[in-house]
């Protein structure tokens, strides 16, 4: 097997295009991040107004957590399916279609967000200052919702494209086990189909008609519940490709092989089954949802610790095997034999370490009683930055140093810059994450342009609010500098500068325990999808029925409309009843 870009040039083009879109979003989101951080911490609050802060925050969230992550995901998954199945796309036109739809949808939504900076003129009224959590009662321009719907449909078509490749491969290899990377892609996309269905219903049937003026109002609690039906599983949509990196790329870089293919399959089956029925744990303070339903969501969420623990064991065992293959000895001294000079290895390892720390704060968020202490504070933002901002973002950037030569045919410009970049990102996030968690414990609110520090005493166990604000700002400066170091090698790698060799053929080594040791039932994705659907129905049917029963589909306005329709139909129903009787 040769270099991917030479073996599959059309697919490599799509992968490069998706990564380009991802990194453009990363640049925009990173710029918005430093602007809103310096404004909120008060170190440079004259650059934007308090009103524009929410536009900046919306653009930061959408660009970083939706566009950056998902564009990279589709590019990475295209490589994974093509390379592991050893076949080109069944129809490259379909591949180009889903990428074009995602770009179109992202563009439409971005235009409406940018319209929030315009006070008058042609874009007046075109805005989407609804933050990343785009549920009612905050209302955006219809184009924003239409763009999101188009983007999501693009991801659905991408999943269908990869399933077509697998079906064709399966017809030619009926007795073969599905390659691990393709299995990971398929289970991830099945989870995504289930999870994104909630937000698709919310956007298409409620938010778009409402923003167009067809409905006077919508049931805010219903749209919020449908959003979080998607809003927590989407975290695993970002994490599952990162888990693939940790399972597939990290052991190779360490000099060894994946410890267990069956354990990796079990982890992805668990994510498929358990990821979606968890979203209500974001709604612990919502009075319209009964406590019993919240307790059920908490229980489901705690079960998700299991695939994380299995991953920690499998990945660490794989890395240790690699280190010992490289000559590592002893209980802990084998760590010194690892390739810490490679930015891909160091970055992903540090991302995994940060994710372990974030897991502890995540258990606080998931617990019903203790969650009330940190709800809607900077604690939540700190947790989010340690998971998505480090475990996902740092892994993506680190993996790029290994992945880019495969899809371009040229080695990266400077691995030393890459090593400095991943270390600086980790240090920056340590400052920011630590300060945000401590500020949250002191009660400092999130999503606020200008928190009042002088007229309210935030009781903090360690340090003052000023020190916490400084740490957050310092962390943001480190992260922004890290982004510049990340983009520099990418840009320079596109030019023929210096003596850089062409990429050499590369392959993923076979696991120590291969798919032949995995029970065949693990590959029965119909079974596991059915189990996931049953759990979703058990978790969500009664809460949604209760929400609709209390407030209707369209809120108070919807209840009035329903009453009027019932009054109009009442004579007809009475007459019909008499005839039937």
Residues with a catalytic annotation lie at 232, 236, 383-385, 446-447
Does residue 460 have a cis bond before it (omega within 30 degrees)?
no
- Residue 363, both tokens: 């258990």
Per DSSP, what are the bridge partners of residue 260? 513
Task: Report helix, strand or coil for 410.
Answer: strand
The two counts, helices (H) then strands (E), for the chain are: 21, 0
Q: Cβ atoms within 10 A of the Cβ of 541, count?
A: 10
Contact 379, 434 (CB under 8 A): no
Cβ burial, residue 498 (10 Å; 0-12/13-18/19+): exposed
- Residue 242, both tokens: 């990162």
Q: What is d(CA 336, CA 152) in angstroms, rounded to the nearest whole number? A: 44
Q: What is d(CA 342, CA 402) in angstroms, rounded to the nearest whole number? A: 9
DSSP state, residue 137: T
Q: What is d(CA 60, CA 52) in angstroms, rounded to the nearest whole number? A: 12
State the distance between the two ends of the chain, measured CA to CA, in whole angstroms.
77
Cβ burial, residue 453 (10 Å; 0-12/13-18/19+): middle
Burial 249-276 (b: 16+ CB within 10 A, else e): bbbbbbbbbbbbbbbbbbbbbbbbbbbb
Q: What is d(CA 409, CA 399) in angstroms, rounded to the nearest whole number? A: 16
Q: Which of 503, 438, 431 is nearest to 471 (CA)?
A: 431
Q: Cβ atoms within 10 A of the Cβ of 177, count?
A: 16
| Cα torsion through 32, 37, 42, 45, rounded to 10 | 0
Q: Give me the sign of the Cα torsion angle 30, 35, 38, 39.
A: negative
Contact 232, 562 (CB under 8 A): no
Helix (H) or strand (E) holding 383: helix 378-386
**Helix 393-408 and helix 9-41, axial crossing angle in degrees, nearest 10:** 150
Contact 3, 504 (CB under 8 A): yes
Q: Give me the sign of the Cα torsion angle 432, 436, 438, 444.
A: positive
């Amino acid at each position: 097997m040769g270099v991917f870009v030479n073996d599959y040039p059309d697919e490599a083009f799509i992968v490069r295009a998706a990564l380009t879109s991802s990194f453009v979003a990363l640049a925009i989101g990173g710029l918005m991040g430093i602007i809103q951080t310096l404004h909120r911490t008060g170190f440079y609050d004259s650059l934007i107004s308090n009103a524009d802060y929410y536009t900046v925050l919306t653009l930061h969230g959408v660009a970083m957590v939706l566009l950056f992550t998902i564009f990279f995901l589709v590019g990475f998954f295209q490589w994974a399916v093509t390379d592991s199945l050893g076949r080109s796309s069944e129809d490259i036109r379909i591949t180009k279609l889903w990428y074009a739809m995602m770009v179109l949808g992202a563009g439409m939504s971005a235009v409406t967000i940018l319209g929030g900076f315009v006070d008058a003129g042609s874009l007046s009224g075109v805005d989407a200052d609804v933050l990343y959590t785009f549920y009612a009662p905050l209302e955006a321009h219809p184009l924003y919702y239409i763009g999101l719907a188009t983007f999501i449909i693009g991801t659905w078509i991408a999943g269908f494209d990869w399933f077509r490749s697998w079906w064709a491969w399966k017809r030619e290899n009926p007795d073969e086990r599905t390659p691990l990377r393709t299995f990971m892609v398929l289970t991830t996309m099945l989870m995504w189909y289930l999870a994104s269905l909630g937000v698709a219903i919310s956007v298409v049937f409620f938010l778009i008609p409402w923003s167009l003026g067809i409905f006077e109002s919508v049931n805010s609690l219903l749209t919020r519940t449908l959003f979080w039906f998607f809003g927590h599983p989407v975290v695993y949509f970002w994490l599952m490709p990162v888990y693939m990196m940790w399972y597939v790329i990290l052991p190779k870089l360490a000099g060894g092989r994946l410890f267990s293919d069956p354990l990796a399959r079990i982890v992805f089956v668990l994510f498929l089954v358990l990821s979606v029925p968890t979203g209500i744990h974001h709604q612990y303070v919502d009075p319209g949802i009964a406590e019993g339903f919240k307790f059920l969501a908490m229980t489901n969420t705690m079960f998700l610790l299991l695939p994380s623990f299995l991953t920690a064991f499998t990945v660490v065992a794989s890395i240790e095997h690699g280190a010992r293959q490289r000559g590592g000895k002893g209980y802990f001294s084998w760590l010194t034999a690892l390739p810490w000079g490679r930015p891909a290895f160091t970055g992903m390892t540090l991302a995994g370490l940060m994710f372990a720390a974030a897991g502890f704060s995540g258990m606080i968020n998931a617990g019903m009683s203790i969650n009330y202490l940190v709800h809607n504070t900077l604690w939540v933002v700190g947790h989010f930055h340690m998971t998505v901002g480090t475990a996902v973002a740092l892994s993506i950037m680190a993996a790029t140093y290994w992945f880019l030569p495969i899809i371009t045919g040229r080695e990266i410009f400077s691995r030393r810059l890459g090593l400095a970049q991943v270390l600086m990102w980790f240090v920056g996030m340590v400052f920011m994450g630590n300060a945000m968690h401590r500020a949250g414990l002191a009660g400092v609110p999130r999503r606020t342009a200008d928190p009042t520090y002088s007229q309210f005493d935030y009781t903090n166990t360690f340090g003052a609010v000023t020190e916490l604000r400084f740490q957050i700002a310092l962390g943001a400066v480190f992260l922004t500098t890290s982004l510049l170091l990340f983009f520099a090698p990418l840009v320079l790698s596109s030019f023929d500068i210096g003596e850089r060799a062409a990429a050499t053929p590369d392959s993923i080594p076979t696991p120590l325990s291969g798919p032949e040791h995995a029970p065949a039932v693990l590959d029965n994705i119909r079974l596991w999808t059915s189990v996931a659907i049953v759990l979703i129905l058990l978790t969500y049917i009664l809460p949604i029925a209760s929400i609709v029963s209390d407030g209707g589909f369209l809120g108070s306005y919807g209840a009035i409309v329903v009453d009027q329709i019932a009054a109009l139909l009442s004579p007809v129903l009475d007459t019909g009843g008499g005839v039937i009787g």
